[in-house]
């Protein structure tokens, strides 16, 4: 058992609701606080001096400078296992080229597929770990990672095996997701329905057999998979025992309804969601995941986060870090910008990147600093936690703790 502190402020996020809007005066803030951890779990939080008196013989880790402590962050939507680089896509898009023109010139998702297929396992592992370490440096200790740049049995399994292997080299929690239904690859001889059946018959059984992922995702969009074929695919994946999530309403409305209808754990993107679907989603158990990095990368409007929260929905915020539409990867900067445009309280942003985001991954053991939760937290050298988002990512994390140990 160990006491860590004192911290100028500990923002526990305890006793906050899973859904709906939040005000900053709902935040529990412990001043001059300490955190007691034991076997990777939080035993108690409270005033540092009081905890020291209650446990006089406890091992202590003294924080010498003025710092605040927050629950560590969860990034519930990333594509950080990939090969290659698509900087030229970004330049062409900003110069006015359309998605089709970029794809025809050798860019787009297919470019990432080719680079990822050509990368060795060692190269993919190295670059994936570099990106994981960057996210950890931001205070993110739980990271979802999708496949989806392989798009055939051999290469989808290669990606998922690399993600599984990466877990051996990091203390962060990695949550793999099979996104073989990213789009139909150009070299597949058959239509969309036949490709989705190929995933169901050839890829997912092997994913299950090797325990490579228990989550399945699909991109429902005019340029990818259509609503009805996607719904059928998701229901079949669910019957196979997979938890499901959906890339929904990025450019075209309607697919968030499918996510709700099939009982998806989350519907991610939602930039094009219309008002009647916002309430349909908000009334459900499906988490709405805003991806402001994609809005910034593509110059598109933001997820209607304010309306989702006002409607009583569960809102999470994730980075969508990928080589094409969201290359930044800095969740804190993205969440700060989303808050500015959508008028989100600091409490709503914090909830969106901690316990609400963890809930989107079916992880309810983390995201708050209270007794019984995983002792993952991040500290910043400041006397006021509001500075983390006020400085929009330029205030860097001072220390990151996983299971009560500074890494």
Encode pLDDT of 23-75 as tens digits.
Answer: 999 999 999 999 999 999 999 999 999 999 999 999 999 999 999 999 999 99
Whole-angstrom distance, CA of residue 226 vs CA of residue 286: 20
Q: What is the arithmetic mean of pLDDT over 316-334? A: 96
For the CA atoms of 242, 179, 131, 167, what is the dihedral angle to 10 degrees?
30
Q: Model confidence at 108, in pLDDT bands (50, 70, 90)?
A: confident
Encode pLDDT of 329-364 as tens digits.
Answer: 999 999 999 999 999 999 999 999 999 999 999 999
Under 8 Å between Cβ of 63 and 379: yes
Under 8 Å between Cβ of 2 and 37: yes
Whole-angstrom distance, CA of residue 156 vs CA of residue 199: 10
Sequence ranges of the domains in the chain:
2-71+367-406, 73-360
> Cα separations (Å) of 269 from 57, 110, 355?
50, 20, 19
Q: Is the peptide bond before 87 cis (omega within 30 degrees of 0)?
A: no
Grouping H, G, I as helix, E, B as strand and the rest as coil, residue 39 is coil
pLDDT at residue 367 is higher than 80? yes
Sequence-ordered strand ranges (E) for 64-112:
68-71, 73-75
Is the C-alpha dihedral spanning 15, 19, 20, 21 positive or negative? positive
> Cα separations (Å) of 382 from 3, 98, 112, 367, 377?
20, 44, 40, 21, 15
Please tell me the pTM assigned to this model: 0.97
Encode pLDDT of 275-315 as tens digits.
Answer: 999 999 999 999 999 999 999 999 999 999 999 999 999 99
> Cα separations (Å) of 147 from 79, 173, 180, 254?
7, 16, 7, 24
Q: Model confidence at 100, in pLDDT bands (50, 70, 90)?
A: low
Under 8 Å between Cβ of 293 and 334: yes
Q: Model confidence at 106, in pLDDT bands (50, 70, 90)?
A: confident
Please provide the average confidence, as pLDDT, over all residues in the chain: 97
For the CA atoms of 371, 339, 328, 379, what is the dihedral angle to 10 degrees?
-30
Encode pLDDT of 72-87 as tens digits.
Answer: 999 999 999 999 988 8
What residue spans of 142-254 are helical by DSSP H? 153-166, 192-198, 204-209, 227-239
pLDDT at residue 147 is higher than 90? yes
What pLDDT is attached to residue 86?
Answer: 87
Whole-angstrom distance, CA of residue 349 vs CA of residue 382: 19
Q: What is the arithmetic mean of pLDDT over 140-165? A: 98
Topology of domain 2-71+367-406, per CATH?
Urease, subunit C; domain 1 (2.30.40)
CATH number of 73-360: 3.20.20.140
What pLDDT is attached to residue 104?
Answer: 76
> Cα separations (Å) of 102 from 95, 108, 118?
11, 6, 21
């Amino acid at each position: 058992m160990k006491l860590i502190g004192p911290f100028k402020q500990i923002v526990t996020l305890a006793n906050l609701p899973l859904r709906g809007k939040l005000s900053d005066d709902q935040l529990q803030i412990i001043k001059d606080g300490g955190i007691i951890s034991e076997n990777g779990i939080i035993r108690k939080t409270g005033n540092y001096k009081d905890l020291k008196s209650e446990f006089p013989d406890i091992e202590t880790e003294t924080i010498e400078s003025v710092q605040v402590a927050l629950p560590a962050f969860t990034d519930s939507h990333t594509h950080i296992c990939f090969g290659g680089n698509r900087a030229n896509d970004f330049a062409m898009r900003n110069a006015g080229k359309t998605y089709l023109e970029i794809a025809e010139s050798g860019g787009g998702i297919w470019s990432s597929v080719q680079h990822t297929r050509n990368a060795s396992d060692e190269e993919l592992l190295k670059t994936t770990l570099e990106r994981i370490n960057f996210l950890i440096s931001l205070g993110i200790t739980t990271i979802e990672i999708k496949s989806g740049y392989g798009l055939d049995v051999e290469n989808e399994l290669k990606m998922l095996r690399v993600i599984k292997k990466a877990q051996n080299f990091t203390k962060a929690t990695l949550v793999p997701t099979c996104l073989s239904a990213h789009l139909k690859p150009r070299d597949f001889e058959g239509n969309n329905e036949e490709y989705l059946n190929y995933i169901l018959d050839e890829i997912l059984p092997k994913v299950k057999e090797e325990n490579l992922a228990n989550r399945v995702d699909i991109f429902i969009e005019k340029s990818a998979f259509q609503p009805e074929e996607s719904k059928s695919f998701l229901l079949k994946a669910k019957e196979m025992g997979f938890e499901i999530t959906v890339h929904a309403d990025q450019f075209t409305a309607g697919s968030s309804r499918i996510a709700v209808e099939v009982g998806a754990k989350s519907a991610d993107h939602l930039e094009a969601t219309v008002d009647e679907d916002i309430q349909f989603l908000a009334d459900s158990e499906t988490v709405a995941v805003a991806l402001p990095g994609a809005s910034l990368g593509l110059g598109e409007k933001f997820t209607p986060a304010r309306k989702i929260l006002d409607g009583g929905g569960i809102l999470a915020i994730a980075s969508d870090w990928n080589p094409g539409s969201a290359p930044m990867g800095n969740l804190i900067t993205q969440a700060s910008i989303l808050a500015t445009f959508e008028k989100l309280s600091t409490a709503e942003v914090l909830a969106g990147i901690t316990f609400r985001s963890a809930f989107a991954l079916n992880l309810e053991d983390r995201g708050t600093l209270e007794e019984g939760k995983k002792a993952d937290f991040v500290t910043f050298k400041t006397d006021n936690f509001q500075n983390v988002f006020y400085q929009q990512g330029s205030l860097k994390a001072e220390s990151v703790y996983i299971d009560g140990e500074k890494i």
